[in-house]
Amino acid sequence: MSEHKKRIIELLKRKGIDPVELERKLMAMLRKGSLSTEIRDYIKNIVKGGEK
């Protein structure tokens, strides 16, 4: 893993977001046919400090 990526993950984790877990969740949602609007709401909630 590149240093840059490690740093990004670290910064996101400090904000309470695990990007790897988020990626897994979003990919699963998309594979099951979720719409972009659902993805948008999910990300917005996460960024606002909602469900992690």
Partner 1 sequence: MSEVKLLLENIGVFRGRREFKLSKGLNILYAPNASGKTSLLAGLKAASISALTTDELSRILNDYEDRGRIKLVFDDKEYVVELIRRPDGKVEAWGRRLADNGVIKDIAFIDLENRLVNAVYAGDSERVRDILRDITGITFIETIIEVIDGLHSETQYKYEMEKKAYEAKKEEVERRIKELEKRLKKVRERLEEIRSDPTLEPARKEIEKIEKERKKYKEELDDVRRKELEKRNEYGLLDRDLRNLEAELRVYMKRREELMKEKRKLEKNLISIRKEIETLREKVKELKDRIDSINSDIREKKDLVKRRRDVLEYAQCPWCGCSIDKDRLHREIMELEEEIEKLKEEMIKLNETKSEYEIKIAELEEKGELRLKSIEKELDELNKKIKNVEEQYSSVRRTIGELKKLLKKLEEQRKYLELQIEIQEAKLEKFKDKIPLVSELRRLWEEERRLSSDRENEYARLRQIENLYREVKELEEMIRTLELLKEYFRIRLNELKSTVVDRINEAVLRHFKLLRLAELEYPILSQDFELTLARIGGIRTALAELSDAEKAILVILITLALKDYVAEDFPFYVVDTLVEFIDDTRAREILKYLMEVAGKNKVLIVTKTKPYTGEPKLLTQEDIVVNKVEI
Judged by the rule CB under 8 A, the positions of this chain that interact with partner 1 are: 2, 4-5, 8-9, 11-12, 15, 17, 19, 22-23, 26-27, 30-33, 36, 39-40, 43-44, 47-48
The answer to whether residues 9 and 19 touch, using CB atoms and an 8 Å cutoff, is: yes
Nearer to partner 1, 39 or 51 (CB): 39
Supply the angle between the helices 36-47 and 19-31 in degrees, to the nearest 10: 160
CA atoms within 13 A on the CB side of 8: 7
Task: Give min distance, CB of 20 to partner 1, in A.
Answer: 9
Nearer to partner 1, 22 or 51 (CB): 22
